[in-house]
Amino acid sequence: VMREALRVLSFFGGRELKVDVAHAGRTAHDASGHVLPEITERPVLDSDAVLLGAIGDNRPGDYEDGLRPETALLALRKSMGCSINLRPILCTAQPLGSRYGYAAGSDILIVRELNGCAYYGRPRGTRLVHAPSAIVPEGFDTMRYSDAEVRRVARFALEAARHRRGMVLSVDKANVLSTSRLWRDSVASTACEYTDVHLEHCYVDSASVEIMTRPHDYDVVLTGNL
């Protein structure tokens, strides 16, 4: 896939385009013992643009953070400051013979935060705990969001809505999670700067159903990393 992508780049960029190739994930680990070696991270940060291929190929035993290929992806996002992920859903026509024709003409932009939540929270790991009759393993992760992290992605979503249909649906789980209550408060506070944008809040389980059944009612969907 990357070989063909580089051919396309070469066609459009010609001699003006300088391309360096570096490895991350499984191929990097097999060659150097690290999923994101310094020899890869440095040119990434010095480049004008990054074309990223798949870094997976998980294998049994890849449970530790330093061994899983995905660790490289998370580290790249953090070091590059890639805090916002855009996932557009555009259904321009009714698929032939599809029973989902009601979705034709829908246009949704999902704005997902990428640098926080349980993906990066500490502490995390596994440990042995004493149960009534045995010592058993348990896993734990920490969910964290700062006000600044939420405001950054919220502002992006609100700005995007200004250039679309002026609606933002913020998705959270504020009825259960303290992190989501902060999310909701920070998003609502940021939205006060955008009086021309209509903001709604919705729990993630309900939002999943509503977006699938009434796609035309939604414009920009703002959501956390998890």
Contact partners, residue 14, CB within 8 Å, separation at least 6: none
Averaged confidence pLDDT in the chain: 90
pLDDT digits (tens, 9 = 90+) for 95-129: 666 666 778 889 999 999 999 999 899 999 999 99
Instruction: Check whether residue 76 and residue 94 sit in a common domain.
Output: no
Instruction: Check whether residue 61 and residue 161 sit in a common domain.
Output: no
Print burial letters for 40-55: b (CB count within 10 Å at least 16), e (below 16): bbeebeeeeeeeeeeb
Q: What local confidence, expressed as pLDDT, does residue 18 receive? A: 87
Instruction: Check whether residue 89 and residue 201 sit in a common domain.
Output: yes
Q: What local confidence, expressed as pLDDT, does residue 62 receive? A: 65
Question: For the whole model, what pTM was predicted?
Answer: 0.84
Instruction: Check whether residue 106 and residue 212 sit in a common domain.
Output: yes
Final residue of a domain: which of 25, 54, 82? 82
Final residue of a domain: which of 82, 101, 122? 82
Of the given ranges (1-15, 48-62, 152-166, 172-186), which has the lowest mean pLDDT? Answer: 48-62
Instruction: Check whether residue 58 and residue 92 sit in a common domain.
Output: no
Instruction: Check whether residue 125 and residue 198 sit in a common domain.
Output: yes
Domain count, the chain: 2
Averaged over 165-186, what is the pLDDT? 98
- Residue 89: which CATH number? 3.40.718.10
d(CA 182, CA 174): 8
Averaged over 175-193, what is the pLDDT? 98
Does residue 212 have a pLDDT over 60? yes
Q: What local confidence, expressed as pLDDT, does residue 105 receive? A: 86
Q: What local confidence, expressed as pLDDT, does residue 98 receive? A: 62
Q: What local confidence, expressed as pLDDT, does residue 170 receive? A: 98
Q: What local confidence, expressed as pLDDT, does residue 203 receive? A: 98
Instruction: Check whether residue 102 and residue 59 sit in a common domain.
Output: no
d(CA 192, CA 198): 10
Instruction: Check whether residue 127 and residue 209 sit in a common domain.
Output: yes
pLDDT digits (tens, 9 = 90+) for 133-159: 999 999 999 999 999 999 999 999 999
Instruction: Check whether residue 94 and residue 137 sit in a common domain.
Output: yes
Question: How would residue 30 be classed by pLDDT, with cut points 50, 70 and 90?
Answer: confident
Averaged over 199-222, what is the pLDDT? 96
pLDDT digits (tens, 9 = 90+) for 56-102: 777 776 666 567 778 888 889 989 989 999 999 998 776 666 666 77
Of the chain, the percentage scoring pLDDT greater than 90 comes to: 58
Instruction: Check whether residue 43 and residue 124 sit in a common domain.
Output: no
Final residue of a domain: which of 82, 99, 122? 82
Instruction: Check whether residue 178 and residue 87 sit in a common domain.
Output: yes
Instruction: Check whether residue 167 and residue 217 sit in a common domain.
Output: yes
The domain in which residue 44 lies consists of: 1-82
Q: What local confidence, expressed as pLDDT, does residue 61 receive? A: 67
Of the chain, the percentage scoring pLDDT greater than 70 comes to: 94
Print burial letters for 77-111: b (CB count within 10 Å at least 16), e (below 16): beeeeebbeeeeeebeeeeeeeeeeebeebebbbb
**Burial of 56 from C-beta contacts in 10 A (0-12 / 13-18 / 19+):** middle
Q: What local confidence, expressed as pLDDT, does residue 63 receive? A: 61
Q: What local confidence, expressed as pLDDT, does residue 9 receive? A: 87
